[in-house]
Structure 1
Amino acid sequence: MNTNSRSIYLNTIFNGESKNKVLIAKAPAVCYEIIELFDTGPPRPTGIKFCDTSGNVGNLSTGSPNYPQHGGNRGGSSTSSTDNYKITANLTGKAKCVYDKIEKGNSTINNFLKKFDGDFPVSHLTYELNSNLPSNTNAVTLLPSNYMITIQLNSNNITNRATLMVARTIIHETIHAEMFRKLLSIANNGGNLNGLTKTQLNSMLSNGDFPGIYKYYTKYGTKFQHQQMANHYINVIADALADFDNNQHSYQFYKDISWVGLQSTDGWNNLSSSEKARINNIIKNFNNNGSKTCK
């Protein structure tokens, strides 16, 4: 992203004429759109719009005036409107225990979560249980819809899975969500990625905000995420697992189990036969013998 200098402005619209205003504004019956201005490239709309009829819009940093609150408290149960939350964990039992430990941790994954939890997040994020996923699917991350990214965990197998492997699943899916969030931040498509053509995706990625995604999307198309994760996120997953697990195992162990779900990638195929055999053996043994409790 071109972040040498970035400012967030209100785009104030008076009778169809746009005027850039800073974060404090006063005007009678006026509508606002929040946009981002960069050193290079055109202004980018955030998709956050609101209208005020009180004549006093106030200061956006305090969240005090009459506009839809595009955020709220992290965690807890869902509310009636997507404008009232940022991250919602509709989880129970072991899944909630694992998520809570990850959320309280100190790793790159926590930095990803914070990007969904700022004053004006690009997207909301929901974690929920789904009993209808196939038995061989631990979780799915749905395409963004109306500024919402949803991660669904398979509730049928969580109890019998090693707790650290459930943590790996949540971490893995959170990386998917962060990749979608990045795409959503440059897509002017009403909070959705569905319906965008390959030409449109190429065009918005070619602006240079996310060269890594652009590189992998150009090579692999819509299947780019696992390819990029295999080459660049194994250590990110391993760090988060070590943090979750209080470093009870070697770092190589955490790297090895981070490969689950990424074994159909070029990154995996580039490993030696002995490395792949070791990793598969570690994963198999831990799936069978790893602790299934969370506390």
Structure 2
Amino acid sequence: MNSAQAQRVLDASLTRAVFIKMGKDKIYLREIQYIPDYDYLERKGFDISDVDLRKGNDFSGKVIIKTWDSEVLSMKILSNGKTINTIKPEDKKKVKIKTSKSTLTHKTNGCETVTDQYWEAQCEIEQQGDVWVYTGECDNWVLVWESAPYEICAPDGTNPCDNNPDPNCLCEFYGFGCSDGGDGGGSPVVPAIIINDQALKNNPCLNEVYSKLGQASGFDYYLKRFDGNNSVANLNFAIGTLVGNTYGETSPPNNGSITITLDAGKLAETPPLFVADIFIHEIIHAEMFRKMMIAAESGNIDPTIMTTQQQIDYVESLRNNFPGLYDYYMRYEYNVPSGQEPSNAMHELMAQHYISIIVSALKQYDNTQTNDVYNAIAWFGLKGTGSSFDSTGLLPNSTTAWKNLSAQERLNLIQTLNNYIQNSPKCQN
């Protein structure tokens, strides 16, 4: 998540106060804080004001349960309204918080070790009738507490309190009335293991690059879009032989699975940083396909197997939820202006908007190269299609962003990439 997206999450997060009557004379007060996943927030038009787990809905993100004096009782990770993990921080330091985020520090055997950061923003509020409302601006967000690392695993069993307002679930959701005297619990649902990277394990070159890339936040951000917490798609890695100058290829979704095929033979003859670029390039393709699956509400996005109404709904959903993808597909594939040749919409989008993202991920993988090298590698596969470059560095079917560079810029990028590949140690198997 970049800083702009993080700010959207911070701004959209909300807290509800819940009064729970127990017996004739006991009333408990709990704060329930909702911090949405960015993808969920984007699908909701950046407005989650109607979220309320007591009524049941498709919320995806983190829910923090606190006492009125802001003692954290439990934190829950939800996907589509279902609790998939419950976290009890060992350190329940009393802090008034507005939102939180988790930073992945280690991952092994299906478990993640994370550290939660709690941020505070002081706001002006006043009571109007029986409602507290904001009356002024909020201060800047300030980090007030960081938890000790703790482990999130996926225990066996099912959660008896999913979308269940029954008082018997108060222990699970609100942290009291528990038979063990604790703060609640329950067993999360086991998320599916939907990243299949087994094909990489027996290839030292690919496995080493992939493992190191997993420690780079720029790559890990996209990879986690396919983890068991949030994804609508399975992600598979495969090794195969690809035609021409193709080193990697991402297939459109098929029955809910997206496959990235890598040509291990060709990649073994290139430097590890170039191999890293192929991983990054293809995972961005996979992420775009994943968003298209969300829009289609299907494990397939082939319009030829959709009914007319499904096609209409798919296009409308893509336009409403992922307007950037919609715009580029209309502009470059489905509604191409007269006199313009159709081209690859994803490559057009990546060439225009993702070069800096790829460069950043490459630097996280290996920070020993020059900016010229990072840029030259990032442009690989995004220049267009055709058998050879002309004297100005253009291909027969160049992407718009590549055309918009000067001839000297194009030629420099081509030469820098060629020199780097030829003169750098190769990623031998």
TM-score of the superposed pair, with normalisation by structure 1? 0.72
Deviation at residue 158 of structure 1 after TM alignment:
2.0
Match of 1:292 in 2: 426
Match of 1:124 in 2: 234
Q: Is 1:252 aligned to 2:362, yes or no?
A: no
Q: Is 1:104 aligned to 2:237, yes or no?
A: no
**Distance (Å, rounded) in 2 between the aligned partners of 1:249 and 1:118:** 35
**Distance (Å, rounded) in 2 between the aligned partners of 1:242 and 1:259:** 14
Match of 1:216 in 2: 328
Distance 1:284-1:117 versus aligned 2 partners, 3 A rule: same
Match of 1:13 in 2: none
Residue of 282, 287, 301 corresponding to 1:193: 301
Read off the aligned partner of 1:280 and give its amino acid letter. I
Match of 2:145 in 1: none
Deviation at residue 215 of structure 1 after TM alignment:
1.4
Pick 1 or 2: higher relative contact order, CA cutoff 8 A, min separation 6.
1
Residue of 229, 234, 245 corresponding to 2:350: 229
Count of aligned positions: 238
Read off the aligned partner of 2:286 and give its amino acid letter. A
When Rg is computed on C-alpha atoms for both structures, the one with the higher figure is: 2
Read off the aligned partner of 2:291 and give its amino acid letter. K
**Distance (Å, rounded) in 1 between the aligned partners of 2:418 and 2:57:** 58
For the aligned residue pairs, the C-alpha RMSD in angstroms reads 2.9
Read off the aligned partner of 2:330 and give its amino acid letter. T
Residue of 271, 281, 286 corresponding to 1:177: 286
**Distance (Å, rounded) in 2 between the aligned partners of 1:166 and 1:22:** 38
Q: Which moved more, 1:159-168 or 1:1-10?
A: 1-10
Contact 1:160 1:292 in 2 (8 A): yes
Q: Is 1:164 aligned to 2:273, yes or no?
A: yes
Deviation at residue 124 of structure 1 after TM alignment:
1.6
Contact 1:71 1:120 in 2 (8 A): no
Distance 1:213-1:139 versus aligned 2 partners, 3 A rule: same
- Partner SS for 1:136: coil
**Distance (Å, rounded) in 1 between the aligned partners of 2:57 and 2:401:** 47
Residue of 223, 247, 255 corresponding to 1:146: 255
Deviation at residue 252 of structure 1 after TM alignment:
3.3
Contact 2:256 2:300 in 1 (8 A): yes
- Which 4+ stretches in 1 moved above 6 angstroms? none
Deviation at residue 194 of structure 1 after TM alignment:
2.3
Residue of 238, 263, 271 corresponding to 2:359: 238
- Partner SS for 1:96: helix
Read off the aligned partner of 1:102 and give its amino acid letter. L
**Distance (Å, rounded) in 2 between the aligned partners of 1:134 and 1:250:** 31
Match of 1:114 in 2: 224
Q: Is 1:93 aligned to 2:192, yes or no?
A: no
- Partner SS for 2:261: strand
**Distance (Å, rounded) in 2 between the aligned partners of 1:257 and 1:226:** 15
Distance 1:9-1:113 versus aligned 2 partners, 3 A rule: farther
Contact 2:373 2:417 in 1 (8 A): no
Contact 1:86 1:121 in 2 (8 A): no
Match of 1:270 in 2: 404
**Distance (Å, rounded) in 1 between the aligned partners of 2:220 and 2:284:** 11
TM-score of the superposed pair, with normalisation by structure 2? 0.50
Match of 1:40 in 2: none
Q: Please give the per-residue CA displacement for 1:183-205, whole angstroms capped at 9, x wherever unaligned.
A: 1112122x111245675543222
Structure 1 residue runs without a partner (length 5+): 11-18, 24-33, 37-55, 73-84
Distance 1:270-1:89 versus aligned 2 partners, 3 A rule: farther
Distance 1:294-1:154 versus aligned 2 partners, 3 A rule: closer
Read off the aligned partner of 1:269 and give its amino acid letter. K
Match of 1:203 in 2: 316
Contact 2:58 2:80 in 1 (8 A): no
Distance 1:71-1:294 versus aligned 2 partners, 3 A rule: farther
Read off the aligned partner of 1:114 and give its amino acid letter. K
**Distance (Å, rounded) in 2 between the aligned partners of 1:178 and 1:217:** 15
**Distance (Å, rounded) in 2 between the aligned partners of 1:21 and 1:217:** 31
**Distance (Å, rounded) in 2 between the aligned partners of 1:98 and 1:277:** 28
| Sequence identity percentage | 31
Q: Please give the per-residue CA displacement for 1:137-178, whole angstroms capped at 9, x wherever unaligned.
A: 101101111221110001221221121111111110000001
Contact 2:248 2:262 in 1 (8 A): yes
Structure 2 residue runs without a partner (length 5+): 1-41, 60-78, 82-157, 163-184, 335-343, 385-398
Q: Please give the per-residue CA displacement for 1:48-93, whole angstroms capped at 9, x wherever unaligned.
A: xxxxxxxx8625697646xxx5523xxxxxxxxxxxx335342122
Match of 1:28 in 2: none
